[in-house]
């Protein structure tokens, strides 16, 4: 069974540029998460989807970050414009039976903002 797929794996951009990350969850997993992981830290939740609905986006900086999950499968996370402090790893995860079920993580996208 394929795991959570993310692309790109690495992205280098200049500040003020836009950037987008894509995630394909494990087949059949209705719950999808985007996390931010800074160096030396644990992941922190940005947004959680149940199917196509964003049910917890309280930690998403909405002035520059946006996300969508059209059709309740793939998801895209966008930053516009990027700032130096956005350099981090962006992780996508999915779970089968809701937000209390085990989460399976993708390999992440490492973003460097210059």
- Chain residues in the site for another protein (CB under 8 A): 3-4, 33, 40-45, 48, 55-56, 58, 91, 93, 99-100, 102-108, 110
Cβ of residue 57: shortest distance to another protein, in angstroms? 11
C-alpha to C-alpha distance for 57 and 105, rounded to whole angstroms: 18
Cβ of residue 49: shortest distance to another protein, in angstroms? 12
Q: In terms of CB distance, is 16 or 62 closer to another protein?
A: 62
Cβ of residue 81: shortest distance to another protein, in angstroms? 27
Cβ of residue 90: shortest distance to another protein, in angstroms? 12
Neighbours of 107 (CB within 10 A): 14
Q: In terms of CB distance, is 54 or 81 closer to another protein?
A: 54
The phi and psi torsions of 99 (rounded to 5 degrees) equal -80, -5
Sequence-distant (6+) residues with CB within 8 A of 32 are: 23, 25, 48, 49, 69, 75, 92, 93, 94
Cβ atoms 58, 34 nearer than 8 A: no
């Amino acid at each position: 069974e394929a795991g959570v797929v993310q692309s790109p794996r690495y992205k280098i951009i200049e500040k003020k540029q836009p950037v987008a990350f894509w995630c394909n969850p494990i087949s059949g997993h209705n719950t999808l998460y985007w996390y931010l992981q800074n160096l030396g830290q644990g992941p922190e939740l940005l947004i959680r989807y149940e199917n196509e609905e964003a049910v917890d986006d309280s930690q998403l900086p909405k002035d520059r970050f946006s996300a969508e999950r059209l059709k309740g499968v793939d998801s895209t996370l966008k930053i516009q414009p990027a700032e130096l402090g956005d350099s981090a790893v962006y992780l996508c995860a999915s779970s089968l039976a809701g937000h209390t079920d085990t989460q399976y993580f993708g390999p992440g996208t490492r973003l460097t903002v210059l």
